[in-house]
């Protein structure tokens, strides 16, 4: 019988997931988040520490699933959640779009399984992971870089980036900008770089450190960002 009063509408619990379905979906959420963590670490291209970032996938997906299960059973709880989230701000720095994309996939897992859309969520996840894996496996992109170079400059002058690029063009066989951030007090840039010899690397390091304002130069193998 449909609710006839506002109190009946707010207190309805007709959408509660049966305990058996809840347990299955909860465990499935954990499994899908773990798979996504593996995919992100193996196939992701973010310059940040992918393993550390991927460790947040499991709690995000499972927490989202719990929230959806709880609020879908009551309109009052749904309205209360909206009010509570209105005072919450997402403070984690997202430096690259890929990180945001994987966060949305995690949230989609939690929302889908929390709404008891098990087949749709699992099917969509499998297709998405297959696409991500295939894109990485069959990518035709050729990377000539064998190192990441991260350069930090304090109180950068207007020509500091130009000077950095000139040094890399002169000393490296190939260089590609991967990330660049600049404020009035700080410049932070990352490059894919290939050096023909160790002597070229040393020359590049000395020249980069000699640029006015540069305070830190970091050379790191690609695998080191995992």
Rg of the chain (C-alpha set): 24
Residue 158: alpha-carbon gap to chain centroid: 31
DSSP assigned state of 53? H
User: Helix (H, G, I), strand (E, B), or coil: what is residue 103?
Assistant: helix
Cβ-based neighbour number of residue 41 at 10 Å = 15
Of 137, 168, 190, the last residue of a domain is 137
Split into its structural domains, the chain has a count of: 2
Question: What gap in Å lies between CA 138 and CA 220, rounded to an integer?
Answer: 26
Does residue 113 contact residue 28 with C-beta atoms inside 8 Å?
A: yes
Residues with Cβ within 8 Å of residue 163, at least 6 apart in sequence: 211, 212
Of 88, 112, 137, the last residue of a domain is 137
> Which pLDDT tens digits describe the chain residue by residue (226 residues)?
455 554 554 454 555 678 888 899 999 999 999 999 999 888 877 766 778 888 889 998 998 888 888 777 665 556 556 555 554 555 555 566 788 888 889 989 988 888 888 999 999 999 999 998 888 766 644 444 478 888 999 888 888 888 998 999 898 888 888 888 888 888 898 888 888 888 888 888 899 988 988 988 988 775 544 4
Of 137, 155, 189, the last residue of a domain is 137
pLDDT per residue over 9-29, tens digit each? Answer: 445 455 567 888 889 999 999
Indicate if 125 and 191 belong to the same structural domain. Answer: no
Confirm whether 142 is domain-assigned.
no
Indicate if 100 and 151 belong to the same structural domain. Answer: no
User: What is the domain-level CATH number for residue 184?
Assistant: 3.30.70.260
Confirm whether 1 is domain-assigned.
no
Question: What gap in Å lies between CA 6 and CA 167, rounded to an integer?
Answer: 71
Question: What gap in Å lies between CA 94 and CA 48, rounded to an integer?
Answer: 10
Range of the domain at 45: 6-137
């Amino acid at each position: 019988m449909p609710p006839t009063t506002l109190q009946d509408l707010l207190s309805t619990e007709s959408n509660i997931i049966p305990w058996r379905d809840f347990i299955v979906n909860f465990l499935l959420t954990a499994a899908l988040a773990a798979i996504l963590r593996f995919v992100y670490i193996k196939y992701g291209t973010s310059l940040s520490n992918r393993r550390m970032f991927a460790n947040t996938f499991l709690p995000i997906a499972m927490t989202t699933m719990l929230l959806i299960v709880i609020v879908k059973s009551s309109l009052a709880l749904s309205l209360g959640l909206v009010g509570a989230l209105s005072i919450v701000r997402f403070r984690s720095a997202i430096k690259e779009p890929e990180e945001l994309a994987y966060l949305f996939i995690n949230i989609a897992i939690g929302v889908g399984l929390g709404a008891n859309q098990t087949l749709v969520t699992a099917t969509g996840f499998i297709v998405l992971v297959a696409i991500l894996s295939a894109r990485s496996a069959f990518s035709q992109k050729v990377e000539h870089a064998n190192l990441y170079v991260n350069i930090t400059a304090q109180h950068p002058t207007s020509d500091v980036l130009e000077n950095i690029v000139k040094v890399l063009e002169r000393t490296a066989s190939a260089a590609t900008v991967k990330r660049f951030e600049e404020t009035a007090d700080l410049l932070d840039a990352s490059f894919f770089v290939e050096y023909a010899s160790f002597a070229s690397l040393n020359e590049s390091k000395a020249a980069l450190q000699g640029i006015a304002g540069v305070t830190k130069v970091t050379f790191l193998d690609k695998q080191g960002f995992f």
